[in-house]
Amino acid sequence: DTAVSQTPKYLVTQMGNDKSIKCEQNLGHDTMYWYKQDSKKFLKIMFSYNNKELIINETVPNRFSPKSPDKAHLNLHINSLELGDSAVYFCASSFLSSGTVVEQYFGPGTRLTVT
Amino acid sequence: AQSVTQLDSHVSVSEGTPVLLRCNYSSSYSPSLFWYVQHPNKGLQLLLKYTSAATLVKGINGFEAEFKKSETSFHLTKPSAHMSDAAEYFCVVSGRTGRRALTFGSGTRLQVQP
């Protein structure tokens, strides 16, 4: 009955490879997000989808491409991996309703290590 | 634009003593504020959220936070620290409707000494 799940939990790969991280939520939320946490624990938004439509696209290299096949899934594909991509990537979900305070629910994170 | 400043990168307390983690925010509109906790090698868990219904917000595990608009602060407190409270704590402000990205503070590592 996991609310927000990510696979894989750990990902070790070499520079230049292409990899994907998958995220699924069973909370019925209409909005999903990807955040990156660097080695200093700083978290920053990368992308957000609302009902399969991209609504937030921060300044990230175009090697990163999110894909949302439906509103319960948001995958992150990374091309030509670089050492600097090593980080923990968190998926989150929420409702995108107006006039209310809505919290985001986070997945367990995917630790990506590029060697 | 919005931002969050956590005034202490590291706080150390003894078990059973009070905890104070400080947070100041900047927002051009009425903010939505949260505290999240991250235990080592774990995901992020919501501790509490400010809804504007009450300035004193109670969260899980005995934590609470007080919203002070005049001071633009949202400090997190707990009367008595427990060893299991040792973790990284993030003060967070939410974007406006239609752009719900969270802006995180830099985090405060809470260490609890026996």
pLDDT, tens digit (0-9, with 9 covering 90-100), for A42-101: 999 998 888 888 888 887 899 999 999 998 999 999 999 999 999 999 999 988 775 566
Residues in chain B with CB shorter than 8 Å from the CB of A99 are 97
Tokens 């400010």 belong to B50
> What chain B residue is nearest to A6 in terms of C-alpha separation?
B43
| Inter-chain touch B101–A31, beta carbons under 8 Å | no
Residue A10 has which token pair? 């750990």
Q: What is the dihedral of CA A52, A58, A62, A67, to 10 degrees?
A: -20
The residues facing B78 across adjacent strands are B19
pLDDT at position A38: 93
Write down how long chain B is.
Answer: 114
Q: In this structure, what token pair is assigned to residue B48?
A: 């509490």
Residue with tokens 């219904």: B53
Q: Other CB atoms closer than 10 Å to residue B75's CB: what's the count?
A: 18
Calculate Rg over the CA atoms of chain A.
Answer: 14
Interchain pair B50, A101: CB under 8 A: yes
Residue B74 CB contacts under 8 Å (≥ 6 apart), including other chains: B23, B24, B25, B33, B35, B50, B65, B66, B67, B68, B91
Q: Is there a contact between B100 and A48 if contact means CB atoms under 8 Å apart?
A: yes
Contact of A104 with chain B, judged by CB distance below 8 Å, is answered with: yes
Which residue of B lies nearest to A110 if distances are taken between CA atoms?
Answer: B43
Q: How far is B79 from chain A (nearest CA, A)?
A: 25
Give the range among A8-12, A109-113, B39-43, B45-49 with minimum mean pLDDT: B39-43
Q: Is the pLDDT of residue B98 over 90?
A: no
Task: Give the contacts of A28 (CB within 8 A, at least 6 positions apart).
Answer: none
Candidates A6, A33, A41: best to mutate against B (most CBs of B within 10 A) is: A41
The DSSP 8-state label assigned to residue B60 in this structure reads: G
A60 in contact with chain B, both atoms CB, cutoff 8 A: no
Least CB-CB distance to B100: which of A43, A102, A107? A102
Tell me the per-residue pLDDT of B29-86, one tens digit each, with 9 for 90 and over.
Answer: 778 899 999 998 888 999 999 977 788 999 999 999 999 989 999 999 999 999 999 9
- Residue B28: is its pLDDT beyond 90? no
Average of pLDDT values for B85-99?
Answer: 84
**Rounded to an integer, what distance in angstroms lies between the CA atom of residue A100 and that of residue A22?**
29
- Mean pLDDT lowest among A13-22, B4-13, B40-49: B40-49
Which residue type occupies A98? S
